[in-house]
Amino acid sequence: MSHYFDNAHREDIETLRQRLTARTEWPTWLLLIGVYGAWFAIVLNSHSLGLWWCTLLLIPVVVLWLSVQHELLHGHPTRWPALNKVLGYAPFAVWYPYTLYRDSHLLHHRDEDLTIPGRDPESRYLSSEQWQGSSLFERGLHWLNKTVLGRFVLGAPLALLGLAREELHRLKTGERQAWLMWLSHGALTWLMLLFIAHYSVLPVWHYLLLVSVPALSVAMVRSYYEHRPHTAPEQRTVINEAAWPWRWLFLNLNLHLVHHDLPGLPWYDLPRAYRARREQWLARSGGFLVRGYGQLWRENGVKAIDSPRHPFH
């Protein structure tokens, strides 16, 4: 247990870990069954639902799938990474192979590197060298990406362009792991798209552009202000007291500091851990509190929340 918890706090967390739900992980198993079932039910009944109802239902299911994959890579619902990989490898969200997401995200959990360009793979900041080497147009895009509306509209396309650039470089240099990963992910994605084309009313291009990309855009709003630059690593991670639909869709990752401090704690125990010691979490975060995604939309819908240039890298 981490040194920054007092004895009473350690006992609270250990009690959560010894509960029946934590030992059996049945909520995560039910969630897995529910997401798989919902995706197939919507696709197979799309002729009755119609194209646009099917689209509107699939987007939150795919967003939830991204959250489920995050849970899987952190060791839930089983202790075996290979089994969790099998459970989470379905390419419902299309663009990010599970193993790529897993490996980069686990690197992101080195809290001493949070937000630092070149060290945190999920950093949304540029180093001084990157900033100086960017054009006015690129700087404008980065400033827009620092607004909630800009993140929602531009976040997914910018992320996908960056992904394509990095992964094409790996493939061109002949990285065996990259080739195996993309061949396996590509084969499963091709089979999924064949299934969609044969059994649903959805054109393949529609699923790619109007289901998977909007789902990624919603996920981009979740990560919009999860971290900030700060000299103290524990004060770089937000606590967002989001409302019910977002808490469910993001599996309580809005309580992001709690997750970073306790990455092995399952999604359904994060709110309980937070409520039990709310004032201690807020003090640890240095007051880095957001009162829901509505606050972000109101205050930073079209106004940059901070600079895209990292202040002290």
| pLDDT tens track for 168-180 | 999 999 999 999 9
The two structure tokens encoding residue 199: 């059994």
CA–CA gap between residue 120 and residue 104 (Å, rounded): 9
Helix (H), strand (E) at residue 148: helix 148-172
Q: How many CB atoms lie within 10 A of CB 41?
A: 13
pLDDT on residue 3: 53
Beta bridge partners of 227: 237
- Prediction pTM value: 0.92
pLDDT on residue 22: 65
| pLDDT of 213 higher than 60 | yes
In which band, very low, low, confident or very high, does the pLDDT at 312 lie, cut at 50, 70 and 90?
Answer: confident
In which band, very low, low, confident or very high, does the pLDDT at 1 lie, cut at 50, 70 and 90?
Answer: very low
The length of the chain, given as a count of residues: 313
Please report, for the chain, the start and end positions of each structural domain, with discontinuous segments joined by +. 7-225
Contact status, residue 270 vs residue 259, Cβ threshold 8 Å: yes
| Amino acid present at 209 | L
Average pLDDT over residues 205-224: 97
The answer to which of 16-30, 39-53, 93-107, 134-148 has the lowest mean pLDDT is 16-30
| pLDDT tens track for 8-24 | 676 667 666 666 566 68
Those residues with Cβ within 8 angstroms of residue 31's Cβ, 6 or more apart along the chain or in another chain: 68, 71
